Structure 1
Amino acid sequence: MATQKFSPFPDLCPEIRTMIWDFATRPHGIRGVQHFSIFPCYGVPADFDGYIAPILETSQMEVVGAASTIDSTTGSPCSNNSTYTIDSGLWTACRESRAAMFRRYRPDEWTDFYEVQKKKYSPNREPDRSVVHLSSTYHDMPATFEMKHGEKSQFFTVLPAMDLIFIHLRSLRQRLWDLSKQLPFASWKLGFGGMCHVALEFDPSWSIAELKQYQREWEGGQPELSVERWKEYDMLVQTSRNVPARGNRKTLWLVDRRLRREHLVPTADQLQAILKIEADEERMVFHEGRCKYFVAPTYETWLWAYEDEGSVDSRRETVWKFANSLHWVATVQAMDSDDDPWNLPLGAVQQWGVLLRSS
């Protein structure tokens, strides 16, 4: 049997090489997962192995990092499979790969949009952070920006209207709703227009009882929570109140890694209820390497279970119940602060959704 011979890549005809490079780019319509770490300006760990975004605002209290490893809830390191890690390599691998990235993202077509956004920017004015929510026109809008690692720099690409921005906070006292000013791919100063989907890791130690205690203290009750704990809940609640909602659609997400999918067949009534709701909802899937993040709606809780049943108490205080309580507390605070509390506009308080990570 004759031995097959494969031509080296440079010896392939230009049309074949172009096809291969195009296949290496992200397919249209695929939502990526982008991991970023947020550090206090004075508290970037000396051993942080990754890229840091330039400071964008003089009053900026945090810096944005893209780590080479991401800590899971167990504390064990794993590789950073963010979509930008693939794109950044294609931008710089060679002339042909860079040309493929230009064909995929077509940044020149967005030049006018970037210039208009820059003109809107003012350090003394809060930007309208909902621009990427307005129309599907923006779904494929790329944001390419520079990150630095010592003397080296790298360009990353994010789709702010499509991708899941997974934020890893080193301190939950940080103001999550200010990130549109500090994240380079969302900044008006750089010509971009905000972002849509933001995720946080769900902390299993968070509880509804503590959340209600936080609300009592917010109303002036006797303090029982630690200052650090109170600020954790305050960050979650104020994010619900300050991050613009996309109508009644969720754009804030909690990721509970304890959940796994149950292989159950729905009853006829369950299937009918699911189809009725899904007809009005977009079923989103975010891709991270070989893993996917699925939207896990409340009406499908029977499809999910906890890997360790002991990780949830006998009252079944699930992440969905916590998210509902979080929405209730945020709504109470919004009503208390509004001149017309019974006529809050749609999206004034955003409810956190739940994402399931599945390999």
Structure 2
Amino acid sequence: MTILAKACTYFLFSFIIGTVVISLVPMRYRPSLSYSKKWLVRALVLFLLLSFVPVLQLALSVGEDVGIWQALNAILFTFAIGKGWLFLVLFTSVLIGVVSFGNMATDRFLAGIATVLCLMIVGAVGYSSHAASLSPQQGFIAQSLHFFAVTSWPGILFVVSWCSQGKEGLPAFFRWFTPFALVCLGVTVGAGIWLMSWITPQYVNAWMMNYGQLLLMKHILLVVVVFYALVNTVFVRAKLKNDTFSPFPWLRAESLVLIVIFFVTGAMSEQEPPHHGEKLMTDEKPSPLFSQFASVVPVAGKALSLQWNVEMGLFMLLSGVFFVLCYQAMKKDVHYAFVLLLSLCAGVLLYVSMMTAVH
């Protein structure tokens, strides 16, 4: 339940912030969009409700000893996760009012207010994060940057790929969205490395745990996203002048991979982060996935590393072949669902190549 709630909150906030940010952009720099204001309000309400699930789960756990209402009261007014949710209630409620009683599509000042409120929500998420509990200032900044970057870029992509009414305005849209997405990707990677320095200090060793396996999957899926981003930047933009060509299937394929990343991120929230890498081989049983794909047995006191070998090279080569097949299929206008399947197969092969290199 918590995994699904976490994944949905990422997706919902992506849609919310994407809609808000794109409303700041003048019409001549974006395609015409069609979405219901009621759906945006419903997304905000659902985001608020689902973001309460981790608070409720903690209250149910603590409440076994002291009672659920006493535990909930203590969490909301004492714990960072509870106070962060109260900030979310405040900022999201105001944003619901702004969206309900105004029209961001025609009022850019209102869209600016909504953007500020979204940034406050980002700050509330950063404040209540696990990283902030480890390092209050740096963790807050790193998690806030990461959350903003990983939701705003996909959010704009979601809105444009699924809500556009036509191709008009797409060339101008790509001219500003491509550098914006690259900056967000850079911030995502940079903030992610910053967060890993506290949460996952021994990256390869962490692969023995479920958290580390999910983190590796998330990084491999980001490689798939980068592939789609490059193709959409080069291939799609070059074919926009073709009247019969529709770029939206390929934009939607990229957005679907990002949704899968949100679910992986949600699953990570339910796993214990490996803060102390040196204890992994004595305190925890290896992840079933690690035991299945890695060719080594963990030994206490010895760290894992990556070592190039024939198997790794073979699987990486096969992964590259699948990426090439994806590109060729896109050029031949094969249905995007098949191309999406090919790209995920490329990701699986890349994962196997990493696991066969563990030494």
Q: TM-score, normalised by structure 2?
A: 0.28
Higher relative contact order (CA 8 A, sep 6+): 2
> What TM-score do the two structures reach when normalised by structure 1?
0.28
Greater strand share, 1 or 2? Answer: 1
